[in-house]
A and B are shown apart, each in its own frame.
Chain A
Amino acid sequence: MVEMTSEERIYRVLQRQEPDRVPHFEWVVDHRVREALYPGCKSHEDFAVKMGHDAIIVDPIYKKERVGTNRWLSEWGYVTQDTNEEHGIEVESPIKTMVDFERFTPPDPHAPERFAAVEAAVQKYKGDKAVIVHLNDVFSLPRYLMSMQELLMAIVTEPELVKALVDMSVNVNLELAKEVVARGAKIVYTGDDYAYNKGPLMSPKHFREFFYPGLCRVMQGYKELGLYVIKHTDGNLWPILDMIIDSGIDCLDPIDPQAGMDLGEVKAKYGQRVALKGNVDCAQLMTFGTTDEVIEATKDALRTGMPGGGYILSSSNSIHSAVKPENYAAMMQTLREYGRY
């Protein structure tokens, strides 16, 4: 098969077809791993190019204001605290009641400066690499705005508030998506996590009532705008996976092995309807395992995911700071040797 561009390769996979070879990219690669593999590497984008990722990941730009040591106030009104990792975590949330919600105004999705990075990436990589823009769907924004614990309790105690927050998240993200499309990007990903090792954070009944309608609306909205959608969520999704797939996503990520999700099982059940990305374990294997073990796991993932196309190889979450650089390099080398159709 003629060598495709990365962009073509990714589109073929999202169309559930066979490309020339299995593509690869990661949402996050910790700066220490980047530096170990490519000393002097300036950014995730720089690394992605050097490492041969097939996609460039871009975020909308939100202002943030320092409000303490390692603490930042987001334009959305929640405060995050930096950790040693590439991402912070929300520590203070502005919405506690319906009154707070009614007074709340989300940041303008059409603010001109918000998509400067998306525009630059599309211009630079058009015809070369796929550009994937990070938006949200139904859980992350309600979680940041209320805190995870309060949001989950509010499912029982303040159902109308939860529904209102989900609605707002969908509305804002569909407006953001219009700006994404206007700049020529064709793929979005959402990373709202619904589950943990044991299962979904809420009952399937609650997921159906509170999150599924909004999920359908946002995914179908993205599709109507002509976008491909990659849906990331950690955890054991089986009790709610039908709903996630039914919402209209193009690709599911990462098929979390730490939660007992099996790539083969998911492919057998849903491979006709969605592409899959994942799932070499980064929690234990890529961190504590040997390169030989990583090589075997990568071959296994390729054997399972490749048939018929519709598969992107990646870690089971991200290349975080404890992943041994040599293990990531081994995964990539195995992909180069065994990932051709």
Chain B
Amino acid sequence: MEPIIKEIYTNVMEGQVNAVKENIQAAIDADIPVSVILNEGMIAAMAEVGHLFEEGECFVPEMLVAARAMQAGMALLKPHLKNAEVVSAGKVVIGTVKGDLHDIGKNLVAMMLEGAGFEIIDLGTDVSPEKFVEAVREQGAQIVAMSALLTTTMPSIKNTIDALNAAGLRGQVKVMIGGAPVTQNYADQIGADGFSSDASRAVATAKELVSNKD
């Protein structure tokens, strides 16, 4: 691995926003392929953060700080990715469902998915089924990711799946869900395609969903 890429990797892991921007610029100036900067510098670092989180060695603060550095790096890299025709892992429409204002879980999932190379359209919180449908229709997403933190707002997940069905869009997206009261059992009951119990496992779920396009 190029030394500068190793530095970028460390900068992301440690949440060093200024250093990550400097080093990404230096790597671009040194004509290192942007796909290498992205995959070996940034995505690999966020994958390690996710791994450490799953192992119980890294917690939400460290994840947020790494994600913030990743996002700063991505902003710098984005125009170059387009030029280099680097394709995203997939497009994800994400939001917390109608009636629910909790956002940290959803934000973490969005950050981890972005860190894994997915393109994220974040609809925020209290997102109606209609808004999810509109976003899929207009943005052509492959995945709809929904979060609910309250048992009382879980029905909005099913309502959104029904709305996607009614709009004739259900077949073209995979639906993944999560949140404190959400279970695999519930996901199976309502016909969601995937469930994950935390932001790191959400990456594996999303990757699986885009690869199993049946």
Output the least CB separation between A151 and chain B (Å).
9
The answer to whether B197 and A198 have CB atoms under 8 Å apart is yes
A89 to B58 CA separation, bound complex (whole angstroms): 27
The answer to whether A199 and B197 have CB atoms under 8 Å apart is no
Quick one: which of B162-201 are within 8 Å of A by CB? 180-181, 183, 197-198
Closest chain B residue to A239 by CB distance?
B56
Quick one: which of A277-313 are within 8 Å of B by CB? 282-284, 287
In the complex, whether B80 has a CB less than 8 A from a CB of chain A is no
Residues of A within 8 A of B76 (CB): none
The answer to whether B180 and A258 have CB atoms under 8 Å apart is yes
Binary contact readout B102-128 vs A (1 if CB under 8 angstroms, 0 otherwise): 111101000000000000000000000
How many chain B residues touch the partner (CB < 8 A)? 27
Residues of B within 8 A of A149 (CB): 64, 103-104, 107
The answer to whether B64 and A152 have CB atoms under 8 Å apart is yes
Instruction: Please judge, given known A-B contacts A81-B101, A149-B104, A322-B152, whether A196 and B68 are in contact too, CB under 8 Å.
Output: no
In the complex, whether B50 has a CB less than 8 A from a CB of chain A is no
The answer to whether B151 and A322 have CB atoms under 8 Å apart is yes
The answer to whether B61 and A320 have CB atoms under 8 Å apart is no
Residues of B within 8 A of A152 (CB): 60-61, 64, 104
Quick one: which of A191-235 are within 8 Å of B by CB? 196-203, 206
A206 to B60 CA separation, bound complex (whole angstroms): 11
A201 to B15 CA separation, bound complex (whole angstroms): 18
The answer to whether B15 and A196 have CB atoms under 8 Å apart is no
Of B58, B68, B105, B181, most A-chain CB atoms within 10 Å: B181
The answer to whether A197 and B197 have CB atoms under 8 Å apart is yes
Output the least CB separation between A287 and chain B (Å).
5
Output the least CB separation between A32 and chain B (Å).
10
In the complex, whether B19 has a CB less than 8 A from a CB of chain A is no
Residues of B within 8 A of A203 (CB): 58-59, 61-62
Binary contact readout A314-333 vs B (1 if CB under 8 angstroms, 0 otherwise): 00000011100000000000
The answer to whether A201 and B60 have CB atoms under 8 Å apart is yes
In the complex, whether A120 has a CB less than 8 A from a CB of chain B is no
The answer to whether B15 and A83 have CB atoms under 8 Å apart is no
A84 touches which of B152, B180, B183, B198 (Cβ 8 Å): B152
A200 touches which of B59, B68, B103, B107 (Cβ 8 Å): B59
Instruction: Please judge, given known A-B contacts A206-B61, A321-B152, whether A156 and B181 are in contact too, CB under 8 Å.
Output: no
Closest chain A residue to B180 by CB distance?
A197
In the complex, whether A182 has a CB less than 8 A from a CB of chain B is no
Residues of B within 8 A of A84 (CB): 99, 152-153
Residues of A within 8 A of B59 (CB): 199-203, 206
Number of A-B contacts (CB under 8 A): 71
The answer to whether A83 and B99 have CB atoms under 8 Å apart is yes
Quick one: which of B43-58 are within 8 Å of A by CB? 56, 58
The answer to whether B104 and A148 have CB atoms under 8 Å apart is yes
In the complex, whether B150 has a CB less than 8 A from a CB of chain A is yes
Residues of A within 8 A of B152 (CB): 84-85, 320-322
Closest chain B residue to A286 by CB distance?
B151
Instruction: Please judge, given known A-B contacts A85-B152, A320-B150, whether A153 and B197 are in contact too, CB under 8 Å.
Output: no
A284 to B181 CA separation, bound complex (whole angstroms): 7
Output the least CB separation between A196 and chain B (Å).
6
A4 to B15 CA separation, bound complex (whole angstroms): 58
B61 touches which of A196, A199, A202 (Cβ 8 Å): A202
In the complex, whether B40 has a CB less than 8 A from a CB of chain A is no
The answer to whether B180 and A283 have CB atoms under 8 Å apart is yes
Residues of B within 8 A of A81 (CB): 101
In the complex, whether A157 has a CB less than 8 A from a CB of chain B is yes
Closest chain A residue to B198 by CB distance?
A198
In the complex, whether A98 has a CB less than 8 A from a CB of chain B is no
The answer to whether A287 and B151 have CB atoms under 8 Å apart is yes
Residues of A within 8 A of B151 (CB): 282-284, 287, 320, 322
In the complex, whether A91 has a CB less than 8 A from a CB of chain B is yes
Of A156, A200, A282, most B-chain CB atoms within 10 Å: A156
Residues of B within 8 A of A (CB): 15, 56, 58-62, 64-65, 68, 99-105, 107, 150-153, 180-181, 183, 197-198
A-B contact pairs, 18 of them (CB 8 A): A85-B150, A89-B102, A91-B101, A149-B64, A149-B103, A153-B64, A156-B62, A157-B65, A197-B180, A198-B197, A198-B198, A199-B59, A201-B59, A202-B59, A202-B60, A203-B61, A283-B151, A320-B151
The 5 closest A-B pairs by CB, nearest first: A155-B61, A322-B152, A283-B181, A152-B61, A203-B59
Residues of A within 8 A of B (CB): 81, 83-85, 89, 91, 148-149, 152-153, 155-157, 196-203, 206, 258, 282-284, 287, 320-322
Known: A85-B150, A202-B60. 6 other contacts (CB 8 A): A83-B100, A89-B101, A157-B65, A203-B59, A320-B151, A322-B152
